[in-house]
Amino acid sequence: MTRGKFIALEGGEGAGKSTQARMLAAALERRGVTCTVTREPGGTPGAETIRRLLLGLDGEGWHPRAEALLFAAARSDHVERLILPALEAGAWVICDRFVDSSRAYQGGTAGLSDADILELHRIGSGGLLPDLTLLFEIDPAVAAKRLAARDVEGADRIGGRNATYHATVVEAFARIAGAEPGRFARIDGNGDANGVHDTVMRAVLPLQEQT
Ligand code: TYD
């Protein structure tokens, strides 16, 4: 059995990842590729429980280091119980956010370096990296409009952080992608969903030739 490919979708808030994940999986399935679509934090019962702890608005929230550990713990369960078994069964895994979200959102906070986040990932998930990471980049004004439409009942604990925090996250993603051009495809996410999907397919289809 040929191992499946692992594709992660990354970006700041309102970048359109979830829509693109669904469209990508549907297009690959039409080409005969079995896909597993999943998300982080979450994807397994245990990781979904940790998601509620991380993003829910109950309680006093987490210290940044505890937050980073919880994301790494959720990822560990997800990798062990869902991602690796699916890849080994030959499915392509399409994951809405993965470790680069931890690097962009938790790295650089409370004295946590990028190397610290990668070390947590090594311990928790054997350092697994996607075959391809799609980074969706959009203008802040487009993001604000999409979020106003989506988060009518209010943002979650991390989405609700201030604009300065989110601007830092977007810069961190750009820096991480710039340092690893072989693993990333940077996607202009400003257009309509179908146009963005075409760009995604151009980035993803070469992976099928590698199987
Ligand atoms: P979600 O509702 O899935 O947001 P989005 O639709 O923007 O992807 O919530 C995930 C939130 O968790 C989002 O604000 C990003 C944050 N996050 C981290 O801070 N670190 C991580 O490692 C991951 C996976 C997500």
Angle at 47 between CA 92 and CA 85, to 5 degrees: 30
Instruction: Kindly write down the DSSP assignment for every residue of 131-148, as one continuous string.
Output: SEEEEEE--HHHHHHHHH
CA distance 137 to 119: 27
- The neighbouring-strand residues paired with 133 are 8, 184
Say yes or no: CB of residue 97 within 6 Å of ligand 1.
Answer: yes
Q: pLDDT at position 173, please? A: 97
Q: Which two tokens stand for residue 104?
A: 């962009």
CB-based contact 109:178 (threshold 8 Å): no
Say yes or no: CB of residue 18 within 6 Å of ligand 1.
Answer: yes
- Domains present along the chain, CATH in parentheses: 6-210 (3.40.50.300)
Residue 80 Cα, ligand 1 centroid: separation in angstroms? 20
Q: How many CB atoms lie within 10 A of CB 85?
A: 13
Q: Looking at the CA of residue 12, tell me the nearest atom of ligand 1.
A: 7
Residue 61 Cα, ligand 1 centroid: separation in angstroms? 15
Say yes or no: CB of residue 13 within 6 Å of ligand 1.
Answer: yes
Q: pLDDT at position 103, please? A: 98
Q: pLDDT at position 163, please? A: 87
What is the chain's pLDDT, residue by residue, as a tens digit (211 residues)? 799 999 999 999 989 999 999 999 999 999 999 999 999 999 999 999 999 999 988 889 999 999 999 999 999 999 999 999 999 999 999 999 999 999 999 998 888 999 999 999 999 999 999 999 999 999 988 888 888 888 777 889 999 998 899 999 999 999 999 999 999 999 999 999 999 999 999 999 999 888 6
Q: pLDDT at position 183, please? A: 97
Say yes or no: CB of residue 8 within 6 Å of ligand 1.
Answer: no
Q: pLDDT at position 110, please? A: 83
Selection from 130, 61, 66, 62 nearest residue 101 by Cα: 130
Q: How many CB atoms lie within 10 A of CB 187?
A: 25
Atom 3 in ligand 1: residue holding the nearest Cα: 40
CB-based contact 128:69 (threshold 8 Å): no
Q: What is the pTM of this model?
A: 0.96
